[in-house]
A and B are shown apart, each in its own frame.
Chain A
Amino acid sequence: MYVNPRLQPGAPTPSTRSQPNPFEDALYGAGPGLIRGGLGAYGEKFLGSSSEYVQSNISRYFSNPQYYFQVNDQYVRNKLKVVLFPFLHRGHWTRIMEPVGGRLSYKPPIYDINAPDLYIPFMAFGTYVVLAGLLLGLQGQFSPEALQWLFVKGLLGWSLQVMLLKVTLLSLGGVEPPLLDIVAYAGYSFAGLCLAIIGKIILRYMYFVMMPLACLCMGIFLVKTMKRVLSAEVRSYDASRLHYLLLFIAFAQFPLFSWLGNISLNWLF
């Protein structure tokens, strides 16, 4: 479904869908040409290898980015509540499936609070950069170059979080979710981080309260999400190994957040 139908004439075309969804198939949309060209290139690279098994798993490796931007105000508000206060989420954590053109796929974020999206991570990252600039300015150390290095630091932190989640999922075996899913889950950490930095701006000592809280909430969120992702794959794995890895994810948030939250002129540390 995520593969470019242009290259696969036999695949189910968009017109045979039971529920016409104008948001799917970014490749047909009038979206940015760069992204469309990039996806086309990926599609050709993956389709170069022959087997049916690989083809059926292409959608697992790089999915359609437009799916992650099908959001609205209400989704954003509720999702922020789930990310920042995961212990208050009363419902279940599973994503809703729907049959589309003969294959099961997940519902887009508008219809499903548990679906990952990329709007919140991008905005949270931007907010982190702006708040970091504000904090630097209030300390009297602002300069555009410092802010640019903080941007790079944020990107590094994001990719470290992605690597952590990816390594965990890989070591437990099975087929992993698409890369953009993992990027989205990792990016949610910036929302809690921004709250902690707001606390730092308001009152210096509030930071030492808000930061562990943010780490804890993000840890709970990631543990619950990874557990749901892994249990979706019915595989036999070592239950204790799973628990140790989930605990490791939760504890790894503490050094990561304190590194990202340490905003000063020496950007690397």
Chain B
Amino acid sequence: MAKEFNVPPVVFPAGGNPAAGNLQQRRVPTAPFQPPRPPSSSLPFMSFDIGSATSTAASTIYGGPIGGGGGGGPSGSANFDDEEPLLDELGIHPEQIWRKTRSILNPFRVNPAVHTDSDLSGPIILYLSLCLFQLLAGKIQFGVILGWIVVSSMFLYVVFNMLAGRNGKLNLHTCTSVVGYCMLPLVILSAASLFLPQASVVRFGIAGAFVLWATRASTALMVALAEGEEEHRGLVAYACFLIYTLFSLLVIF
């Protein structure tokens, strides 16, 4: 029995070696079950080996944590605990979003300090809630609102930097972040307009008030975030007013 046989390592059908096999199966539930697939299927995860380094197909489907886990899998089970939480890795910080949103809720005083580092996840959440309220009103406008947000933030970015001249320090990320956060009054307007009578003065009046709130908040933020633009405050305010009136048209009509 001294003879050593050259035993090739056991390879699971779509999995790696047994030591990391259980670990991978925890996160890739489809791998050991091998659901029946048509032979002409071109799904990428059929043809790779989780334990090997060519697990790029999996990481493109399942995202960061799996790719990191797949790469570190063969070296042991410690890496799963070392990973960052999912939200942190994606860059979404719920407390920051909540803090920024709360700062816009006060129509009379805006605190620009919390908005210095811009993020786009808050605006995406506000965009989705605006679309949701519009959906409740019977209007399917997901693409329209997203397109209008993109175009209007580019418009505001160009106008603001041209007005500021040499000192134009606003970048597009911050601009989109400000425009997105100041959509909060419009989200509240679309929620309220579900209960207001159609084509009445009350509707227009409330919409006007909310648009003015959004304009005031966004102008204060833009002027505070790109310093030294006090003298163009009225000009920037009119540009913001146009943008939010445009969105309020979607809500009112």
Is A bound to B?
A: yes
Q: Which residues of A contact B (CB under 8 A)?
A: 22-23, 28-32, 35, 65-66, 68-73, 76, 118-119, 122-123, 126-127, 129-130, 133-134, 136-137, 142, 144, 147
In the complex, per-residue mask of B63-78: 1 if CB is within 8 Å of any chain A CB, else 0? 0000000000000000
Whole-angstrom distance from the CB of B232 to the nearest CB of chain A? 7
Beta-carbon contact of B234 and A31 below 8 Å: no
Q: Are B158 and A133 in contact (CB under 8 A)?
A: no
Nearest 8 Cβ contacts at the A-B interface = A137-B253, A69-B162, A142-B253, A29-B166, A144-B144, A126-B242, A23-B165, A133-B249
Question: What's the Cα separation between A71 and B249 when bound, in Å?
Answer: 29
What residues on A are CB-neighbors of B144 within 8 Å? 144
When the two chains form their complex, are residues B234 and A73 in contact, meaning their CB atoms are under 8 A apart?
Answer: yes
- With A30-B161, A32-B162 already in contact, 6 other A-B pairs whose C-beta atoms are closer than 8 Å: A29-B166, A29-B167, A30-B168, A32-B158, A32-B161, A66-B162
From the candidates B155, B169, B242, name the one contacting A127 in the complex (CB within 8 A): B242
List the B side residues contacting A122 at CB < 8 Å. Answer: 159
Q: Please determine whether A31 and B161 come into contact, CB atoms closer than 8 angstroms.
A: yes
Interchain CB contact under 8 A, A29 and B168: yes
Cβ-defined contact, A30 with B166, below 8 A: yes
B111, chain A: closest CB distance, angstroms: 26
Q: A71 contacts B166, CB within 8 Å?
A: no
Contact with A along B216-253 (1 / 0, CB 8 A): 00000000000000011011001100100110011011
Secondary structure class of chain B's binding surface, majority of residues: helix
Interface size range on B against A: 20 to 34
* A72 and B231 contacting across the interface, CB-CB below 8 Å: yes
Contact A69 B163, beta carbon cutoff 8 Å: yes
The answer to the question of B22 belonging to the interface, with a C-beta cut-off of 8 Å to chain A, is no
Q: Using a CB-CB cutoff of 8 Å, which residues 30-44 of chain B contact chain A?
A: none
Contact between A65 and B242 (Cβ–Cβ < 8 Å)?
no
Question: Which one of A66, A69, A70, A119 has the greatest number of beta carbons of chain B within 10 Å?
Answer: A69
* A118 vs B235: C-alpha distance when bound (angstroms): 12
Specify which chain B residues have a CB less than 8 angstroms from the CB of A126 in the assembled complex: 155, 239, 242
Closest to B158 in A: A32
Contacts A35-B158, A69-B163; is A30 near B169 (CB within 8 Å)?
A: yes
